[in-house]
Amino acid sequence: MGARSTGSHPTTTKADGHLLEYFRSDMGSGGGGTNFTPPPPPFTATGGTKVTSGSYTYHIFTSTGPFSVDPECGPATVDYVIIGGGGAGGNAPNTGLYGAAGGGGAGGFETGTAALDSSTATTTMTVGAGGAGGSGPYPGNSGGVGNVGTDSTAPLFSVTSGGGGAGGGGTNSSSKAASNGRSTGGSGGGHGGYSGTGAVGNGDGNNGGNGGAYGGGGGGGRGAVGANGTAPSGGDGGLGAVALSGDTDLPSSYGTPGPSAGRWFAGGGGGGASGGSVGTGKNGGGNGGQRSMPQPERIGKAGTVNTGSGGGGAGRDSHPQSNTYGQGGAGGSGVIIIRYPT
């Protein structure tokens, strides 16, 4: 009588099953005695607002917080953009004819890729604050620095992005230049009227626009310098940039529209005016203020939060005895975006 098969026959025994499992797990690769090692689980992380859109998963930080990777995951490469806080627009004096102020510069814009070692599980993401608007005839305040991992001894990765430069303050005299804006690593602030050179952008930032006769210069943006002020209009802010090159999946609730696809950030604030048109802020930058006795029209508009864009410069006073300073608009706070394939 012939031998009975034990393949898939209903009478296959439990011992037969063990034998098959032995060959599948221990002998399947052709070697003997090497245990099967399962692959690591898919890359998993938490922190910020986690959004899956299109082909990517994003972690978007609009305030400071931890970014944590599951230590059981294998290593992974992520894309990032870290945008510092935008600078505030300059303030205008309460007397004189020349006092329109410059727009604030955009925050620093650091982008790249990082290979994450999941054995170090958590790193702090620090979002830069926007520069605060002021109330005196001086420059505004620079934006805050955004960074990743600077408070950790073994961060997942470490990058710093500077704050935008403040817009230059207006001046009440045509015989002296207004105060220049300053940058800590982003784009420079525009110069206040009467005249003068806009601040130089540091790192990857662009320069602010020059002050014109009566008009403040626009703040520099990530993608372009700020426009010069003219008589008597403010200069426009410089253009910003797409957060992650070629990315069209980032949700529309973040950033602003731009001249091409994707979500745009880090635009310059507009310069204040002394009678003509106000400077227009770009990609979240605030518009400049207008010449006006009522204070609300003189105030520069704030940059949009979590864009890293600059605030608008104040317009000059139309009545020398009003004793009210024109206030520059606050800069927009920064943002940190982490992206990896879903």
CA separation for the pair 198, 180 (Å, rounded): 6
Residue position matching structure tokens 């800590």: 184
Count the alpha carbons within 13 Å of 83 in the hemisphere toward its beta carbon: 38
Domain ranges of the chain: 59-342
pLDDT (0 to 100) of residue 281 = 97
Strand partners, 61: 336
CB atoms within 10 A of CB 136: 13
CA separation for the pair 221, 311 (Å, rounded): 11
pLDDT (0 to 100) of residue 19 = 45
pLDDT (0 to 100) of residue 263 = 96
pLDDT (0 to 100) of residue 6 = 45
Render each residue's pLDDT in the chain as its tens digit; 342 residues.
444 444 444 555 555 555 445 445 544 445 555 677 777 677 888 999 999 999 999 999 999 999 988 877 777 889 999 999 999 998 887 665 557 888 999 999 999 999 886 666 788 999 999 999 876 656 778 888 888 877 666 678 888 898 988 888 776 554 333 444 555 557 877 777 665 666 666 667 888 888 887 788 899 999 999 999 888 899 999 999 999 988 999 999 999 999 999 999 999 999 999 888 999 999 999 999 988 766 678 889 999 999 999 999 988 766 655 556 788 999 999 999 999 998
On whether the CB atoms of residues 168 and 179 are closer than 8 A, the answer is yes
* H-only helix segments in the chain: 14-26, 295-298
On whether the CB atoms of residues 144 and 163 are closer than 8 A, the answer is yes
Q: Global pTM? A: 0.83
205: burial class by Cβ within 10 Å (0-12, 13-18, 19+)? Answer: buried
Residue position matching structure tokens 């245990």: 35
CA separation for the pair 81, 337 (Å, rounded): 5
CA separation for the pair 133, 179 (Å, rounded): 15
277: burial class by Cβ within 10 Å (0-12, 13-18, 19+)? Answer: middle
CA 133 vs. chain centroid, Å, equals 19
186: burial class by Cβ within 10 Å (0-12, 13-18, 19+)? Answer: buried
CA separation for the pair 213, 99 (Å, rounded): 10
CA separation for the pair 235, 278 (Å, rounded): 7
Contacts of 296 (CB under 8 A, 6+ apart): none
Which of 225, 226, 204 has its CA nearest to residue 216? 226
pLDDT (0 to 100) of residue 3 = 45
At 269 the three-state DSSP class reads coil
CA separation for the pair 279, 207 (Å, rounded): 16
pLDDT (0 to 100) of residue 175 = 39
pLDDT (0 to 100) of residue 196 = 62
